[in-house]
Amino acid sequence: ALIPVANAVESTGLAEVVAKEALSFGGVEPDAAFVVGVLLFASMMLTNVLNNAAAVAMMAPVAFTIARSLEVDPDALLMAVAIGSQSGFLTPIGHQSNTLVLSASGLRFWDFWPLGLPLQAVVLVVAIPAILFVWPL
């Protein structure tokens, strides 16, 4: 059901606009860690308000466009999207397991933040060098 959304993101040029803005952020040539970090962070934030499949469908065309623009292999950028979209720890929407925990535990929607935010920070700190080590740009 989300493939048409991904096609629309690419065919309307939205992926190119987002990629261009991400690459021009700060006015300097981005390095590999910055690009991977931006995609990882954006996927993490998106998956907290959409489900993880929707986050991948929205971010994968952006990752491909950035890879094409930088003339690099897209594997590292797609892994950043994949890992980020599985790291929705801030809300019960972020992952199916969060929804199960919410219904079984009596937690409220915003009760995920105190543990989820530090966990997302750990994922950012660990995933960026790990991605660049396994899939160098």
The contacts of residue 81 (CB under 8 Å, 6+ apart) are: 39, 40, 43, 55, 56, 59, 60, 62, 63
Token code pair at residue 103:
């219904």
Query: Rounded to two decimals, what is the model's pTM?
Result: 0.84
Would you kindly state where each structural domain of the chain is located, as residue ranges? 3-134
Tell me, what's the pLDDT at 94? Answer: 81
* Mean pLDDT score of the chain: 86
Task: Give the ranges where 24-95 is alpha helix by DSSP (H).
Answer: 32-47, 52-70, 75-85
pLDDT tens string 54-82: 889 888 888 988 898 888 899 999 999 99
Beta-carbon-side half-sphere exposure of residue 71 (alpha carbons within 13 Å): 0
The residue-averaged pLDDT of 102-127 equals 91
